[in-house]
Amino acid sequence: MHDPERAADMDDLIRLSVFSSIGTSIVAENSIRGVLDRVLEQVGAFFGPLNWSVLLVDAERDELVFSVVVGRAADDLRGKRIPIGEGVAGWVARRGLPAVVEDVRSDARFSRRADGLSGFETKSIIAVPLRAGDRVFGVIELINRLDGGSFSAYDMRVLSTIADFAAIAIEKCYYLAEARRLSELDYLTGVLNRRGLRKIIERECARRKRYSGDLSVVVADVDAFKRINDEHGHAAGDEVLKTVARVLAREAREADAVARFGGDEFVVVMPQTGPEDAEIARARFQAALDKEGAAHVVPFSVTLGAHSAAEADFDELFRESDRDLYRRKSAHPLAIGENLLAALDDEARRAAQDSGGETGE
């Protein structure tokens, strides 16, 4: 005999099991990109949409960015932007409320901008906010069902539950990544500290052990730094250090790593760089620092030494660089003459660096 209450209870248990499985898989991810990819994987399997996206808020420009896109015309939409407030997704981002549109022809919020970019016709939409407290940092948007039907209010509630799991996981990954990033940065200058430098060293040593290749470092030392502190105060000395770090970071290549190695010492680690290119880089850094030092409120000068080696380990590399630095100081004394999208970009850069270590690129 059919028992409606028992059947309803079984349906509830099935739904709870599905949500538990989805939530567990999402929260288990340890990177923002991993969470986003897993969310869209689950969304695709559960709802069967034609196109589904995560749009992240760029608060500075008051825009939504199609950060992760799956489905038809994904390549046409990825990276594109829409103003917050425009379209259904923009409405959701502005108000922090979910929305389901069964037929876009009857909804004044719908904008055809995305259709113009993607070349397909939107018929039905669900969009739900990703929230951290009372702040919306993104939107999950689903376009059209593959079976030709419309999304429903029930679909919207399910997607909102998935979004809640996703928001918790993204927030966790963001703060963990931020804590990790800050633990590897020098608090004063914003470049890598010794801990961050050690990670770079370990990565480059592993890369060189597997693929060989050149490696160079440039060591920079602020001349007479103690006298700057004694005569002008520690605040002035801090400004000099921040300026040196800023110039080195500006002049370094994207593949290079800049670190504050000691009190007034900096290191630029340059992968795949031989002796000639290292000397060219040293001269470039020197020219930029000479110009900046001469124009600074408290004039300063910096001595730089470069060293390259194909086989030596980093300890030896630094010893040789220090000796080169000392020789330059002795031979040529110089006169005393500083959002979630960003976190995602940092992960992409780290992933590219790591994959380069595995592939040898």
Model confidence pLDDT, tens digit, residues 299-317:
999 999 888 765 445 565 5
pLDDT at 333 (0 to 100): 44
Q: What is residue 158's three-state secondary structure? A: helix
Helix (H, G, I), strand (E, B) or coil at 338: coil
Under DSSP, the state recorded for 79 is T
Residue 299 token pair: 């004039």
Task: Compute the mean pLDDT over every residue in the chain, rounded to the nearest whole number.
Answer: 81
Whole-Å CA distances, 329 to 285, 334, 352: 16, 8, 38
Token output for 309: 């080696």
Residues in a beta bridge with 309: 215
Exposed (0-12), middle (13-18) or buried (19+): which is 265, by Cβ within 10 Å? middle
Four-way CATH pick for 186-359: 3.60.21.10, 3.40.50.170, 3.40.50.720, 3.30.70.270: 3.30.70.270
Q: How far is residue 89's CA from residue 119's CA, in Å, rounded to a whole number?
A: 18
Q: Where are the domains positioned within the chain?
A: 4-182, 186-359
Question: pLDDT value at position 361?
Answer: 39
What phi, psi does 147 have (nearest 5°)? -80, 0
Give the separation between CA 26 and CA 60, rounded to whole angstroms: 28
Which pairs count as long-range contacts for 172-175, CB under 8 Å and 24+ apart, including other chains?
172/27, 173/29, 173/30, 173/31, 173/32, 173/34, 173/35, 174/32, 174/340, 174/343
148 by Cβ neighbours in 10 Å (0-12 / 13-18 / 19+) ranks as exposed
Mention every residue, 6+ apart, whose C-beta is less than 8 A from residue 46: 18, 22, 158, 162
Tokens 């059919």 -> residue:
2
Rounded to the nearest angstrom, the gap between the alpha carbon of residue 32 and the centroid of all alpha carbons in its chain is 9
Instruction: Please name every residue paired with 71 in a beta bridge, in sequence order, or none if there are none.
Output: 51
Scanning 57-112, the segments in alpha helix (DSSP H) are 74-77, 87-95
Q: Is the distance from CB of 357 to CB of 206 less than 8 angstroms? A: yes
Query: Half-sphere exposure of residue 309, counting CA atoms within 13 Å on the CB side?
Result: 17
Strands of 4-151, DSSP E: 49-58, 63-71, 81-83, 99-101, 125-132, 135-145
Distance from C-alpha of 103 to C-alpha of 121, rounded to nearest angstrom? 11
In sequence order, the 6+-apart residues with CB closer than 8 A to the CB of 352 are none
pTM over 0.75: no
Q: Which residues of the chain have pLDDT under 50?
A: 1, 7-11, 13-14, 311-312, 332-338, 357-361
CATH of domain 4-182: 3.30.450.40
What's the confidence (pLDDT) of residue 90? Answer: 94
